Structure 1
Amino acid sequence: MMPSKQTLLHIAAGSLLTLGLLGVFAFRDDQKKLGNEVETRWQPPALPEEISFAGEAVPLDRWDVQERFDRELLFNYYSPANVLFLKKLSNRYFPIISERLQANGVPDDFKYLCVAESNLLSGATSRSGAKGFWQFMDATAPGYGLTANDQVDDRSDIIKSTDAACKYLKAAYQKFGSWTAAAASYNCGMGGYNGQATYQQTTNYYDLLLPEETNRYIFRILTFKHLLENSEKLGFKLEEKDLYKEVPYREVEVSSSIPNLAQFAIDNGTTFKVLRAMNPWLKGRSLTVSGGKTYKIKLPAAS
């Protein structure tokens, strides 16, 4: 026999009331167990009292600068997995980047621009098509001495791409007279930055209204500088064994084409997968070498 419609409504109402009461009691019980932990678990990280970029002081006494920095720091501080990953990866790449920056006369803080651009990932690709450690576009890469085709992509070579970025940054510094402005123009282009500076009658980054991504750009770089330089004090605990090391390698110089990179790898005691991992600038299954050109290929160090 089927229950009446009215009976079903009474049963449903009673069930909802019971669930509601259970929910209230469960919530109260959780609050008793948690005590004040809910109130103190999420706290905004404190801004540093002072910070600079490439030797240029950041005007943290300004409310707008404080809030823009605070926004980036807050979002990245509460992405702990990414901070820990960057700390591990920076141990492998920062020594190489720093050496090239110094050799080119560019301040060491620009290694944090590389973090902001690619997260130190050789294969990083943006929505606009920029690629590699320093995110060069297909059209602009050749102008900075970078080969970018279906076999070779120097944008994924940490040394060549860092040298190329230095060429841009030094030219931008000569134009704007400020490393901060040079860094900001890396995001919006020298032409874009200059156009805004001309209209607004200042080249000072902190006084300019720029496209939103560029408005946030320097503060994103500063955030990575603060988090990575002070990771231990900020609670990101890593031991030496946790850090990624540079993979031991030997180099072979090739002056003739390699028709089959997988066979080349096997002939040299490794695999195609490892060959590509150690040489991310290699993009195809073969390597054409012509015109007296040579390439240096990394292979696992002999055991």
Structure 2
Amino acid sequence: MLNSNLLKLLLICNIFLFISASAGYQANPRIRFSTPTEVIASSEFLAQEKYGIVNRKAIAYMDRYIRVNEESLMMIRKKHQSTFRMMNRVFKKYKLPQQLKYLAIVESEMKPTALSKVGARGTWQLMPETARILGLEVTEESDERTSTALSTKAAALYLRDLHHEFNDWLLALAAYNCGPGPVYAAIKKSGSRDFWKLQDFLPAESRGHVKKYIAVHYHFEGKAGVTTQTAEELLASR
């Protein structure tokens, strides 16, 4: 019998798949949100000890992330409803999953002035050259990365391009963090285009980035919205 943590991850994956196939997706049926469900949700896969260990690590990582950041996530949920609605409109315009807005939480905790040590700035943590390519003005006098509306449009275009390049959303999310080069290197080294099989060949920050996104997605759109209920209770409520 599956333990409660594994059931919880399966629930996360199933909700992730269900929500990602929502109205925001139907406009372009060729785009499919690649999810852990295809890898995890089969008895044959779960029976493989090697990948079972990987899955338990993923469960622990996402569980811990939600627990540590739960108060902050609840505050963001309360404070940024109007910003989320704006982001929904942008992603809908570009026929992308509206749930991609949760990536902004992982990137910057929705802070327009956030600045990383490597120079990524704004809600979507865009690097200067990437931002310029995407049409944003980045000069000493003006930096449009700090405009949440303008940078959301730029991030949508970038995510759309990354998905077209990899045809897989989890790889696109990893590439958003580290760039396409390291993702292609991980594909070559692993011999797979499956995130869950190539993740150990990615930079640690990038594989964590994807798992944080899945955790935040679940926190905001999972039926419970918090981690205090057991997986069995959550499954029973579906």
Does TM, scored on the shorter chain, surpass 0.5?
yes
Kindly indicate whether structure 1 or structure 2 has the higher relative contact order, using CA contacts under 8 Å at least 6 residues apart: 2
Instruction: Note the residue ranges of structure 2 that are not aligned, 5 or more in a row.
Output: 21-32, 42-50, 229-238
For 1:212 and 1:183, the matched residues in 2 are separated by 14
Instruction: Note the residue ranges of structure 1 that are not aligned, 5 or more in a row.
Output: 1-43, 237-303
**More strand per residue: 1 or 2?**
1
How far the C-alpha of 1:193 sits from its partner, in A, is 0.9
Match of 2:8 among 41, 47, 56: 47
Q: Which residue of 2 aligns with 1:138?
A: 128
Match of 1:109 among 99, 114, 138: 99
How far the C-alpha of 1:186 sits from its partner, in A, is 0.4
Q: Are 1:77 and 1:83, in contact at CA under 8 Å, matched by a contact in 2?
A: no
Match of 2:216 among 207, 216, 224: 224
Cα pair distance change 1:111/1:69, threshold 3 Å: farther
The equivalences for 1:29-108 within 5 A come to 47-50=8-11, 51=13, 52=16, 54=20, 55-59=33-37, 60-61=40-41, 62-63=51-52, 64-108=54-98
- The CA RMSD measured in Å over matched residues stands at 2.5
Q: Which portions of structure 1, spanning 4 or more consecutive aligned residues, are displaced by more than 3 angstroms?
A: 59-62, 230-233
Aligned residues: 194
Q: Which residue of 2 aligns with 1:199?
A: 189
Q: Equivalent residue of 2:130, what SS?
A: coil
For 1:190 and 1:103, the matched residues in 2 are separated by 25
For 1:137 and 1:175, the matched residues in 2 are separated by 19
What per-residue deviation string (whole Å, max 9, x for no partner) do you get for residues 80-139 of structure 1? 321222212331311111110110122122111111111111111112110001111123
Cα pair distance change 1:140/1:58, threshold 3 Å: same
Q: Does 1:151 align with 2:129?
A: no
Name the amino acid aligned to 1:57: T
For 2:7 and 2:73, the matched residues in 1 are separated by 17
TM-score by length of 1: 0.58
Q: Are 1:72 and 1:223, in contact at CA under 8 Å, matched by a contact in 2?
A: yes
For 1:155 and 1:161, the matched residues in 2 are separated by 5
**More helix per residue: 1 or 2?**
2
Q: Are 2:65 and 2:215, in contact at CA under 8 Å, matched by a contact in 1?
A: no
Higher Rg? 1
How far the C-alpha of 1:229 sits from its partner, in A, is 2.1
Q: Does 1:126 align with 2:104?
A: no
TM-score by length of 2: 0.73
